[in-house]
Amino acid sequence: MKTETKNSINQYAELFDAIQEKASSEETAIAILQEIGKDKRSKFFEETGNDELATEKQKNYLKDLGVEFDDSITKKEASDMIEQSKNC
């Protein structure tokens, strides 16, 4: 197993132990740990995906919504435009 993977497992295990000390049950601790994991992944994608070009799926969806956009649209811009269109 890679060292990076082992370190991640150890970090999550330590975090789980700390959460479990304060949570009312093991199920609650697991749910909290899952949410923390989701938050970490979301933050990672926000930080790394802002400059990447939009996917074809995003572009096709924008076209289906009737939204005009530039070919150099980023994932973040496409996501924002999709959300705006859905809220109208």
pLDDT of residue 77: 92
Cα 29 to Cα 69: distance, rounded to the nearest angstrom: 44
pTM for the model: 0.53
Cβ-based burial of 38 (10 A; exposed 0-12, middle 13-18, buried ≥19): exposed
**CA 16 vs CA 10, 63, 80: distances in Å:** 10, 44, 34
pLDDT of residue 48: 73
Between the two ends of the chain, the Cα-to-Cα distance in Å is: 49
Check residue 52 and give its pLDDT. Answer: 87
DSSP structure class, residue 25: S
The confidence score (pLDDT) of residue 50 equals 64
Residue 46 has what pLDDT? 75
| pLDDT tens digits in sequence order for the chain, 88 residues long | 889 999 999 999 999 999 999 999 999 999 999 999 999 888 887 777 667 899 999 999 999 999 999 999 998 899 999 999 888 7
